[in-house]
Structure 1
Amino acid sequence: MSNQRQAPSGILGFPIVPFNENGNIEEKGLIRNIEFLLDNGLEAIFIACGSGEFHALSRKEYERLVELAVSVTDGRVPVYTGVGGNVSEAIEKAQISEKHGADGYLILPPYLIEGEQEGLYEYYKAIIQSTELNAILYQRANAVLQLDALQKLVEFPQVVAVKDGVGNNDLNIELTQTIGNRIAWLNGMPMAEVTMPVYIPLGFNSYSSAISNYIPHISRQFYEALLKGDKQSVNNIYEDVILPINRIRKKRKGYAVSLIKAGMEIVGLPVSRAVRPPIVEVEHEHYNELKAILKKALEKYPPNKKVSL
């Protein structure tokens, strides 16, 4: 665990959780996934978050995932966890994360209830004060902080970043221009590569990448081209990879998770397509569409290490 009050920057890895035929966590597959992300230079590991099916994990499973992520990462990059739901469970998960040496956590929305700003402030405050870990606040669903509430929360030294998963850039401009670099700003929109060109001018220097679970080198090429102002490369990767995958992702609810597992299986990583309800597996037709996209993408943008389809 690091004592640095600094959010990770760059491309953030959000591992999925592989399940075996009995529906249990396949630990060897998870370890391989984390190692794959580390080998490809991702700047942080976020375990048991949305792509890790946070909603469907037992307390015991959650704790085991945190243990594994911290152990495998071994200090090479920061490890963040997902906490959220009702406030008691969120605090418990934050304390589990601290116990096992995580660097911080991402606070997901409270369960179902859409609270007033004062209520959201109290929700976040209770979690933040429960540990000394770094906290990243997630703008998502029924938890969207406005300026006044966020200004009070950033007074806590544990708060190092805000991650936006809403896409309200009127609000983002107000927040980033008023609060500035007192905290970091992370793009957490679905398929964040799609919107990253809009977010960079606002001060967002980092994003969570779903496709990094199976084609991290392409996400890296895209990000580096974006930072260099290489519009032609950005446009090519949009046309060949990002937009086609995003079109499939939008075809069914839950594909934000299950399409990642399909992509990983296609490139030969040790993961099945099994997911937990209410998420559904990728349909056969969409699976084949993704496979065709990845085949062409890997031919045009080959990785350093061989990937087998």
Structure 2
Amino acid sequence: MNSQRKSPTGILGFPITPFDEHGRIDEQALSRNVEFLINNGLEAIFICAGSGEFQSLNRNEYELMVDIAVSTTKNKVPVYTSIGGNISTSIELAEISKDKGADGYLIFPPYLIDPEQEGLYNYYKTLIRSTDLNAIIYQRGKAVFTVDTIERLAEFPQFVGLKDGIGNMELNIELTQSLGGRLEWINGMPFGEITMPGYFGTGFHSYSSAIANYIPHIARTFFEALKRNDKELVDELYKNVLFPINNLRKQRKGYNVSLIKAGMEIIGLPIGSTVRPPLIPVEKEHFLQLETILKEALEKYPVHICK
């Protein structure tokens, strides 16, 4: 294994894809989103991922977003793209990521397939080996791995991390106990802060944060409190901020993306509310509820105090 290879750790930034009134990508808004995440201390940028509506982007849009992410970060933090679904297209996106200077990619599951372990192994082996970039596997949907399959894939030095979006803690413990420090373990469940205490104890010390797009100081305060075992502050943040937002997120399918855009609008990062079908924008009633939650949260936890 190349000892220089390292997966991003800590709180990972997943920008949204802002669309203008004509449905085109708002380049300036995307650059501001990436810059905001970097300035607030997030350890990596994952562009064109789930929160970036990967499923709805065409090739030109994908290339544009990778260009913006790479040029905006200026090597301050690693930039990861997303690939997955159709294997031929994924190989092409991996090549694009390499050519444009990305550090690696997050591999989503194959499209509409419930595969055997050997099929999963061959799919991910092909994508991991397609370039020399770092690769992180996203375990979610039907892409659920046995320890044996992950051990076999771990023979490839490009494979640096596993992001879990399943929530099977028995499997996660088996994986971390079997492979230990060979991989970085990333919590990829919806609203990562909610489940992070359970993950942290099993060796998952990184996670993707949706709320970091609009209240990153609260995400950081929560994670630092968790790491130093400050249960009182963790519980307080659950009660006053995290559970209210999560309960609102669960009101409609797809709010895991559109609620991020609403939160950004509320705090003064205007990116519009447009999402592409089949996602739906946040309803007015829910927007107003989020506005109230964030107003109270910022009164209790101002940016200057949390920092």
**Shorter-normalised TM-score: what interval?**
over 0.9
Query: How far is 1:114 from its partner?
Result: 1.2
Q: Structure 1: any 5+ residue segments left out of the alignment?
A: none
> What residue number does 2:224 align with?
224
Find the counterpart in structure 2 of residue 255 from structure 1.
255
Q: Residue type of the partner of 1:297?
A: A
Report what 1:202 is aligned to: 202
Deviation sequence 1:206-255 (CA, Å, 0-9, x none): 00000000000000000000011111110111001111100011111111
Match of 2:80 in 1: 80
Structure 1 residue 201, shift from structure 2 partner: 1.2
Q: Hey, what's the Cα distance between the residues in 1 that align with 2:195 and 2:24?
A: 35
Among all aligned residue pairs of Structure 1 and Structure 2, give the percentage whose two residues are the same amino acid: 62
Q: 1:5 deviation in Å?
A: 0.8
Distance 1:63 1:84 in 2: 15
In the alignment, what sits opposite 1:150? Answer: 150
Deviation at 1:148, TM superposition (A): 1.2
CA distance in 1, matches of 2:175, 2:32: 38
Distance of 2:168 and 2:132 partners within structure 1: 30
Offset at residue 282 of structure 1 (A)? 0.6
2: CA distance, partners of 1:223 / 1:143: 28
Match of 1:57 in 2: 57
Residue of structure 1 in register with 2:135 after alignment: 135
User: Structure 1 residue 4: deviation in Å?
Assistant: 3.7
CA contact (8 A) 1:32 1:270 kept: no
Paired residue for 1:101? 101
2:239 matched residue in structure 1: 239
Deviations, residues 181-207 of structure 1 (Å, cap 9, x unaligned):
111100000000001100111111100
What letter is aligned with 1:263?
A: G
Equivalent residue, structure 1, for 2:91: 91
C-alpha distance in structure 1 between counterparts of 2:37 and 2:294, whole Å: 18
Q: What secondary structure, in the 3-state scheme, does the structure 1 residue paired with 2:166 have?
A: coil
Q: Deviations over 1:115-148 (max 9, x none)?
A: 1111111110111111000000001101111111
Q: Residues of 2 paired with 1:270 and 1:75: CA distance?
A: 25
User: SS at 2:303's partner residue?
Assistant: coil
CA distance in 2, matches of 1:6, 1:207: 15
Contact 1:191 1:210 in 2 (8 A): yes
What code does the residue aligned with 1:203 have?
G
The 2-side partners of 1:4 and 1:65 are apart by 27
Aligned twin of 2:182: 182
CA contact under 8 A between 1:19 and 1:272: conserved in structure 2?
yes
- The yes-or-no answer on 1:273 pairing with 2:273 is yes
Q: Secondary structure at the match of 1:225?
A: helix
Secondary structure of the equivalent of 1:106?
A: strand
CA-to-aligned-CA distance 1:38-96 (integer Å, 9 cap, x gap):
11000000000000000000001001111110110010000001101110111111110
Are the counterparts in 2 of residues 14 and 46 from structure 1 also a CA contact under 8 Å? yes
Mapped to 1, the partners of 2:102 and 2:84 lie a distance apart of 16
- Structure 2: which 5+ runs fail to align? none
